[in-house]
Structure 1
Amino acid sequence: MPGAKEKAQAEAAAESPPGDRVLSSGEALQAAQANARKPAGEARREAFTLDVRAPDEIRDYLNLHLELQRYRQLQDLDGQELSRLLGAAEANTRDLLGTLGYFAPRISVDLRETPADARAPREVAIAVDPGERTRIAQVDIGFAGNIADNPAAAVQRRDVTTGWGLRSGQPFTQDAWDSAKTAGLRRITARRYPTASVASSSADVDADTSQARLAVTYDSGPPYRFGPVQVKGAERYPPEVAQRLSLLPVGAEYDQAALLTAQQRLAASGYYDSVFLTLDTDAGTPQAAPVIAQVRDAKLQKIVFGVGASTDSGPRLSVDHIHNQLPLIGWRAVSKVSIDQKTKLISSEQTSLPDDNLWRWVTSERLQRELTGSYEVNSGRLRGGRAKSTDHIDRGYYLQYDYATTTNGDADAPPSGSAISTPWNWTGRYFDNPTAPSRGYGVAVEAGPGMTLIGDRAPFLRSYARGLAFLPLDKLQADGSPARSGRLQFRAEAGMVNVKDSATVPATLLFLTGGDSTVRGYSYRQIGARTVDGQIYAGKYLAAGSVEWQRPIVWNGEMTEFESALFIDAGAVADQPGDLKAKVGVGAGVRWRSPVGPLQADVAYGVDPKKFRLHLRLGFTF
């Protein structure tokens, strides 16, 4: 069905008598600009005023789109030319009404002389009775090409039909019809078929019955698979950087979301100031279509200054130094200095490029002074090993050396300790959104044997696990806003260090809890094992959990970007499993879906200390 504006212009041109000329839009604009440049003291009457008499929604639409509006500023518009414009106005009005679904309107166009009107010497009145609005009677969606009979594309076919935007009984408009076709095409091009197109479409409108029968056929074209990544624009870093960090496996089915994720991953890698990935569909190799990576290299070195604050540790200052290509080895190094009220930290981590199996070498060094329970602890760590990151899973295994010493200790303070261990870790993230999830789950596991090196040397086994899950509840709907679900959030963590009592494990390998992201209502890392005089220190066993009810906030009938939250947290740390006694916090809070990530503000009551605490947190990490 041709667009209403194009149809109106074609009919107006066909009805113009030979030798007559209607001003083009460019000529009309030039004339209007010339009129606007006249001296302020000179009268600036319009050629005519336009009065559209129609229901409010239709009147506003016609006032915005009628072709007559272009000619109102032409002071030298004579009567003959205006009559010719009025002849085309009815057809233009009828076409515009057709885009809104009114195909049997009654329209009258009248011209009245108004010499006494200071605004214009003439008035054009267009009266519209739109009649009955056309509604959808039938929708036929067809498929051609590979998608039509490919069993693997059954979900895509179903998504197009179930997600179709125009249903039987709904009003027909040209915009809604175009939007529905485009949305269906996007569902097809998002996966396997980047060259899909609308093969044919028709809107059969019966003006007598005010019904429309719609039909569209999508041609998928051939299915595509990712080929090799071809890097363009790289000058400082070798192409292997983008090729390996993109994590786009050659031979995988084309997926627009995977391409976007790879682009974001490269942009966040620190190697590039800008990245743009596209699939080369003109290469003529659908089963191995090249991925073009257009990049602009970042500087070799960068220093980043940071300022922050949290209710856990107060104000924070940090300086990061990034070297993207260390001399001789070519690894990337990120070094950091951070200072807040509880922690002073100096650290550095070096990583190689991933190999063909996505594994990379990692080394790191760390010196730290931290308030650990009631004691100041100086600690250090050296680590070396291998790590692998994919879309949802991170894993690694290392050889690690730790030491820790208490600086303000009394007779009961934990003694200094050091150890060597071989930790292994695995983290899986399966959330619907990596920065602001509303459903899904995440699981992290760490485990590894070790040997204490100071005092009584003894083997030990350290293990730790945590999980986070979102369970959607009923949906809330507000007028004119998409529905959003409330949810329950479950969080749990547990850890233990199996070692004989006479051995000394460094405090940095033991456990504490409490604070913004663990047990609210308590200070940061102030739930731990206790000495005989009540001093807090890191213990060998940890158990903690939380249940939180999150619900979108509707205000004045409109959905907002805020959510309410009610929660209960509990956690315990001890040196023996039988000594674990839960510390409980309860409270309420508000969540704001800010442009930089979720911001949460909570007020929690610590049942044990019988005090309220404010907890603020920005962003989501797991």
Structure 2
Amino acid sequence: MPDRRNIKLRQKLLLWSAWLVLMVGWAGALQAQTPDTSPATAPSSQRLAFDIEIQAPSGVQDYLQRHIELQRYRELIDLDATELARLLTAAERNLQDLLGTLGYFSAEIRLLVLDTPQNPKAARHVVITVQPGEPVKISDVTIEFVGPISQDDAAQAQRAAIRETWTLRPGMTFTQADWDGAKTRALRLLTAQRYPLGAIISSRSEIDPDTKNARLGITLDSGPAYRLGPIQISGTQRYDTELVAHLARLNPGTDYSQSLLLEAQQRLTDSGFFDAVFISLDTAGDPMGAPVLVQLREAKLQKIVLGVGGSTDGGARLSMEHTHNKVPGIGWRATSKLSLDRETRSLGTELTAPPDEAGWRWVTSALFQSQVSGSSDVNSQRYRVGRMQAGERIDRNYYLQYDRAETAGGSESTTANALSANYAWTLRNFDSLPFPSSGYGLGAELGGGTTLGSSREPFLRAQGRWLGLWPLARGQAGTRSSSRAGRIAVRAEGGMVLARTGAELPSTQLFLTGGDTTVRGYAYRSIGKELANGEIVAGRYLAAGSVEWQRPIVVNDKLTDWESTVFLDAGAVADKPSALRAQVGVGAGVRWKSPVGPLQIDLAYGVEVKKVRLHLSVGFTF
């Protein structure tokens, strides 16, 4: 019979063995789930085979530090001395190639490996010393043309533009990046006009390290000259091809121009009839009449837009706009809008006909408005019918207009009616919209008519406005220097109404100024003719202007989307030119290039009223 003590001992050994097996299995499972952090596979931040120190001029040092291939092998901690020596030999060739892209072809390069015998586990130290020497200078540039562009007199200006805008000139330092960029720009200018199939058939850069000179040459093959052919439209269901052709305005027989296609694409997109537009040239066809392919996706027939906004002129604003792109029966577009803010409540509707071949379209509209105007409350109606033409740079508009205004201010209320014929013209010549940095805009309106009250009195109304932007740095606008120097913006506005002294004119035909976009430091439309009782009413003459210095804000030597500004505004309204007395506002502010347009935040001091006002507005319009 076995000894009970031996049985108990064997049972304990079995239990301990089972527990040990479980612990080993559990530890193995944990090891499978836990990343291996042993020294052999440690991340590069904890263990490196070697580190690299590059001693070179700052610009060269940064470039080599980023692009040297030796960086890729720092984590191979099992490198022996022979393998490292082979890598350093290859690194010297790589450094020579990198320096060549910067224009240095006779650089002195030294590589030194410092071991750490006191700590064998420490990373070895690779010291690279580079003396780049004198960079290679461009001694000669040859630009040649083959194909029709070389013989066509009509392409003389295009050839001259490619040569004049070539960015690498004799005497400049040669770099590979500049060389690639110059070739790309030349090809872009070639294919942007008349020759869409243009190509670079050869380019050469002959480098002489002894004389440190570079001879550059490029040959451009234009391929055949193309002219626009018939428009081939796809994707229309609701609108006929005539509407698309009138909006695109791409006349067959016109020389091909990439800008023409882009402008046509933009017109179709801005029309509101289409959600997506893509225009291309079919170069497989006859070059003298290559088809223009217009692919469209139509917008919805109707849409409603709800808006929430605000400004310091009118406070919070709510709006609702309904658009019907093709009213049954007449085929015109109808747009109706309701807008409410602290100062103005308006309801308007407009009917617009499709454009004709020249871009002219018939327009009729009605507007009902209640507005705080100076010291008065004005309820007005306006009905208009006429024609308009909207272009990329010039807008024209002529129309008949009926005005009715009921003005209630103080103890006196008046009602006036007028009928007038008007012409409006606007020119926009800015470098870019909605964030212009140079250029100018000019607008003028001229109208004449008669009052329709108990006595009919003729009147003449004229108004003009101008905005000019001048970069402060010399050179082409949009360059680094001009962008950082900022610009000066000058704005001027004037208006007059000529009529008999006692003529009762609707206040909507007269002038008031002051507010976010006119004379800052004063309330919206608070500058006008002052009556004996202190009330402010609209006047017959207006003069206003502004000078503003706009300068970009730079952070860590990089341009931001913000600008700072200081400004001086002035404006006056009166019934006689001799009675005009300027009211001045001065201040400073910031601008932000927001996704919906320029956001303006200004703090202005009104010298006349001795008050500081905050002004907020969004968008650029002229």
Aligned to 1:338: 339
What is the correspondence of 1:173-212 to structure 2 with a 5 Å cutoff? Answer: 173-212=175-214
Aligned to 1:232: 234
Aligned to 2:424: 425
Please say which of residues 583-592 and 304-313 is displaced more in the overlay: 583-592
Structure 1 69/467 Cα, relative in aligned 2: closer, same or farther at 3 Å? closer
Kindly state the Cα deviation for residue 515 of structure 1 after the two structures are TM-superposed: 1.2
Aligned to 2:455: 456
Please say which of residues 70-79 and 377-386 is displaced more in the overlay: 70-79
Which amino acid is 1:257 matched to? S
| CA RMSD in angstroms, aligned pairs only | 3.8
Aligned to 2:41: 44
Partner Cα distance (2:569, 2:503) in 1? 32
Kindly state the Cα deviation for residue 213 of structure 1 after the two structures are TM-superposed: 1.4
Structure 1 stretches of 5 or more lacking a match?
1-35
Structure 1 369/202 Cα, relative in aligned 2: closer, same or farther at 3 Å? same
Kindly state the Cα deviation for residue 84 of structure 1 after the two structures are TM-superposed: 9.2
8 Å CA contact 1:481–1:558 kept in 2: the answer is no
Structure 2 stretches of 5 or more lacking a match?
1-31
Aligned to 1:24: none
Kindly state the Cα deviation for residue 444 of structure 1 after the two structures are TM-superposed: 1.5
Task: Report the secondary structure of 2:265's partner residue.
Answer: helix
Which amino acid is 2:394 matched to? I
Aligned residues with identical type, % of pairs: 51
What is the correspondence of 1:480-559 to structure 2 with a 5 Å cutoff? Answer: 481-484=480-483, 485-553=485-553, 559=559
Structure 1 92/587 Cα, relative in aligned 2: closer, same or farther at 3 Å? closer
Task: Report the secondary structure of 1:483's partner residue.
Answer: helix
Partner Cα distance (2:79, 2:486) in 1? 62
Partner Cα distance (1:183, 1:69) in 2? 33
Structure 1 66/467 Cα, relative in aligned 2: closer, same or farther at 3 Å? closer
Matched, 1:136 2:138: yes
Partner Cα distance (2:519, 2:305) in 1? 32
Partner Cα distance (1:198, 1:471) in 2? 38
Please say which of residues 140-149 and 98-107 is displaced more in the overlay: 98-107
Aligned to 1:4: none
Task: Report the secondary structure of 1:282's partner residue.
Answer: coil
Partner Cα distance (2:555, 2:75) in 1? 45
What is the correspondence of 1:189-338 to structure 2 with a 5 Å cutoff? Answer: 189-285=191-287, 287-338=288-339
Kindly state the Cα deviation for residue 344 of structure 1 after the two structures are TM-superposed: 0.4
Partner Cα distance (1:88, 1:124) in 2? 17
Kindly state the Cα deviation for residue 339 of structure 1 after the two structures are TM-superposed: 0.5
8 Å CA contact 2:473–2:481 kept in 1: the answer is no
Matched, 1:360 2:356: no
Structure 1 71/450 Cα, relative in aligned 2: closer, same or farther at 3 Å? same
What is the correspondence of 1:49-88 to structure 2 with a 5 Å cutoff? Answer: 49=49, 54-55=54-55
Structure 1 481/420 Cα, relative in aligned 2: closer, same or farther at 3 Å? closer
Kindly state the Cα deviation for residue 112 of structure 1 after the two structures are TM-superposed: 12
8 Å CA contact 2:599–2:619 kept in 1: the answer is yes
Kindly state the Cα deviation for residue 601 of structure 1 after the two structures are TM-superposed: 2.7
Kindly state the Cα deviation for residue 505 of structure 1 after the two structures are TM-superposed: 2.0
Partner Cα distance (1:318, 1:604) in 2? 28
Which amino acid is 2:438 matched to? R
Cα offsets for 1:107-147 (capped at 9, x unmatched): 78999999997699xx8979675754433332222233344
What is the correspondence of 1:345-384 to structure 2 with a 5 Å cutoff? Answer: 345-384=346-385
8 Å CA contact 1:425–1:446 kept in 2: the answer is yes
Kindly state the Cα deviation for residue 525 of structure 1 after the two structures are TM-superposed: 0.9
Which amino acid is 2:469 matched to? F
8 Å CA contact 2:586–2:605 kept in 1: the answer is yes
TM-score (norm 1): 0.81
8 Å CA contact 1:233–1:294 kept in 2: the answer is yes
Kindly state the Cα deviation for residue 179 of structure 1 after the two structures are TM-superposed: 1.4
Kindly state the Cα deviation for residue 71 of structure 1 after the two structures are TM-superposed: 7.7
8 Å CA contact 1:102–1:130 kept in 2: the answer is no
Which amino acid is 2:585 matched to? G
Cα offsets for 1:263-297 (capped at 9, x unmatched): 23322222222222223333222x44333222222
Residue correspondences, number: 580
Kindly state the Cα deviation for residue 67 of structure 1 after the two structures are TM-superposed: 6.4
Cα offsets for 1:30-65 (capped at 9, x unmatched): xxxxxx999626743799946666546667766765
What is the correspondence of 1:522-601 to structure 2 with a 5 Å cutoff? Answer: 522-553=522-553, 559-601=559-601
Partner Cα distance (1:549, 1:64) in 2? 40
Which amino acid is 1:430 matched to? N
Aligned to 1:396: 397
8 Å CA contact 2:367–2:383 kept in 1: the answer is yes
Kindly state the Cα deviation for residue 221 of structure 1 after the two structures are TM-superposed: 3.0
Structure 1 533/88 Cα, relative in aligned 2: closer, same or farther at 3 Å? closer
Kindly state the Cα deviation for residue 191 of structure 1 after the two structures are TM-superposed: 3.0
Please say which of residues 332-341 and 217-226 is displaced more in the overlay: 217-226
Please say which of residues 509-518 and 541-550 is displaced more in the overlay: 541-550
Partner Cα distance (1:558, 1:69) in 2? 28
Task: Report the secondary structure of 1:266's partner residue.
Answer: helix
Task: Report the secondary structure of 2:268's partner residue.
Answer: helix
Task: Report the secondary structure of 1:157's partner residue.
Answer: helix
Matched, 1:167 2:164: no
- Computing the radius of gyration from Cα coordinates, the structure with the larger value is 2
Partner Cα distance (2:111, 2:409) in 1? 95
